[in-house]
Structure 1
Amino acid sequence: MTRLRVAYAGHDFFSSCLELLAQHADVDLVLVLTDEPGGQPTDNVRAIAAAQQTPVRTGRWSAALTDEFNDISIDLLVCAAYMYRIPIEELNVRYAVNVHPTLLPEGRGPNPLAYLTFDYPQLNGVSIHEMTPELDQGPILVQEPFDRDPGDGFDEIFLKLWAYAPRALRRLLDDVDHYFANKQNQAGGSYWPEPPRAERTLDAATATVADALHLHARFGQLGFFLHTDDEHPTQVRATAASRCQHQYPPGHVTARLSRGWIVALTDGLLQTQPAFHHKPV
């Protein structure tokens, strides 16, 4: 196999793919593109890039970045949960692919995991498709389905994606020319928008433990918006919720701990932590 000069664009969500690229014998990892400090989580991306002594560029795409990219002879661009639009039509690159967390053509969009948990479990899987100017609509190259176990929520599906995405990418790397020669155009399909805020909101004054656990299962580490009786709406993730008798009025923040709150619900207590930062593509 001919060695490939590869650029990677993404944050920590799919960084198991970056780990594969860094370890692959036939890959030279020459550029990493990720978010700025304070944006999406990037600790693992930065650690892998540092270990490989690979340059890292952050922030929105710019004309200067296009020039730099085109000057360093990239064979393959791998985009995996990247935060910004890439002007693929302006890049001199032989191959460009995107790693997407559904079985396309269903589930295009910036945050499909929130729908996979309850609405479309049959679409659990990873798709790698050719990048085109149209979001998530390029021809499909590789797909890697997986089964959802009973009780799996957002965070459990994320762990499966962490494992299966590099498997799909390894298949592609084993014979890139073959997969591009046999790519399958997408037909039909669906687009899943960011869930509306109302679907991601818990009013502690009226909510039950079951309500909190449902939101946690659907949104996991992304979290949901919590309304309490004495705080502005806050984006949190549940760490535990239990039905129990208590002396607090529902909606009351009963304790502010070093890493989160304990909040009274109508039939129990909810413990929260700050949600991971997330912004749509």
Structure 2
Amino acid sequence: MRGMSPLAFLKVDAMRFAITLSDRFKPVLDVFMQAGWEPLKMFCTPVDHKMHHHKASVAFAEQRKLPLQLSPMRPHDLEELADMGCEALLVASYNWRIPDWTPHLKYAVNFHPSPLPLGRGPYPQVRALLEGRREWGVSCHKVGPEFDTGDILAQEIFPLGEADSHQMLDFKLQLALHRLSHQVANQFQRLWGEAWPQGEGGSYWPLWTDQDRVLDFKRTTAELLRQLRAFGDFECAATINNVTIFIHRAEGWVESHGFAAGAVIYSQSEQLLVATADGMLLISEWSLYGPDAVTGRGRR
């Protein structure tokens, strides 16, 4: 078109938007802004500083003087967004249900940390590691009446290694989220129009229970190490000599022995060597108090 800068075509999908956010999903905000999208408001939920953080997100809202809401989103909030000229709602981590947005906004999408329709639910990463998945991913889908069920705009799939930890998966997810956000932000209209249904065979993964974090020393060393890697900083619990401890770091190996599973073979400087079904588990960092996200008590 005569008289139009070539750069104008790069902003064809840019819109005014609101976003729900925690720090793990901040790449979504950063990438969309780089693509020329204009933020109007941010929604955050209370955080536990283990599973979710929002320090960086809140700081960004304060620096940009963006309206920030920490209470649940209500229909009147969506009405106010429409009055502000908001076109799209980006959901990037949010513990509360989104009200029906369709009377007020043109678009609403959610960024979910799983290769949907597999792994719907609040925090599927732990189970992905527990099950030894060899690949994982992030998805962007339309926000529907039910959690994590809307049509999919795009996905980013990546490999998982046998020894990947919770922390490694977390960073792989953030890198994939950056790539996915770039794709969606710059091709939003096309991807929205070409979104495909999730179809049958989806699965909902509820949040784990305290029992899921308990180590059973009658299991193999490899199984115990996988459990420890999967929970990471959420920590696993174990009862040793009738005392429950919370384990932050441990190593292990396979070795033939005649000890009963769970027996303490050696202890030194708070390190515990415990017999497993087929070897040894060396517990090097542990506490009598679990992480805040699970027990509500701090570490000692």
Corresponding pairs, count: 266
Show structure 1 runs of 5+ residues with no match.
244-248, 256-260
Whether 2:22 is the aligned partner of 1:11: answer yes
CA contact (8 A) 1:139 1:185 kept: yes
1:277 alignment partner in structure 2:
293
Q: Distance in 2 between matches of 1:130 and 1:278?
A: 31
How far is 1:210 from its partner?
5.5
2:95 alignment partner in structure 1:
83
SS at structure 2 position matched to 1:93: coil
SS at structure 1 position matched to 2:225: helix
Q: Distance in 1 between matches of 2:100 and 2:233?
A: 30
How far is 1:194 from its partner?
2.3
How far is 1:16 from its partner?
2.0
Letter of the 1:126 partner, please give it: V
Q: Distance in 1 between matches of 2:121 and 2:23?
A: 18
Aligned equivalent of 1:36, options 46, 56, 75: 46
Whether 2:215 is the aligned partner of 1:202: answer yes
1:105 alignment partner in structure 2:
117
Q: Rg larger in 1 or in 2?
A: 2
Q: Distance in 2 between matches of 1:140 and 1:17?
A: 16
- 1:121-200 alignment, distance < 5 Å: 121-191=133-203, 192-200=205-213
How far is 1:171 from its partner?
0.7
- 1:38-57 alignment, distance < 5 Å: 38=48, 40-57=52-69
How far is 1:115 from its partner?
2.2
Q: Distance in 1 between matches of 2:294 and 2:92?
A: 15
Q: TM-score, normalised by structure 1?
A: 0.78
Letter of the 1:176 partner, please give it: F
How far is 1:25 from its partner?
4.2
1:116 alignment partner in structure 2:
128
How far is 1:213 from its partner?
2.8
How far is 1:226 from its partner?
4.8
1:258 alignment partner in structure 2:
none
Name the CA shift for 1:89/1:64 in 2 (closer, same or farther; >3 Å). closer
What do the CA deviations read for 1:216-251 (whole angstroms, capped 9, x no partner)? 2122233334556687x67x56234467xxxxx85x
Name the CA shift for 1:4/1:146 in 2 (closer, same or farther; >3 Å). same
Q: Percent identity?
A: 23
Whether 2:242 is the aligned partner of 1:213: answer no
2:77 alignment partner in structure 1:
65
Q: Distance in 1 between matches of 2:193 and 2:103?
A: 20
Show structure 2 runs of 5+ residues with no match.
1-10, 254-262, 296-300
Q: Distance in 1 between matches of 2:17 and 2:272?
A: 47
- After superposition, the CA RMSD in angstroms is 3.4
Name the CA shift for 1:139/1:263 in 2 (closer, same or farther; >3 Å). same
How far is 1:200 from its partner?
1.5
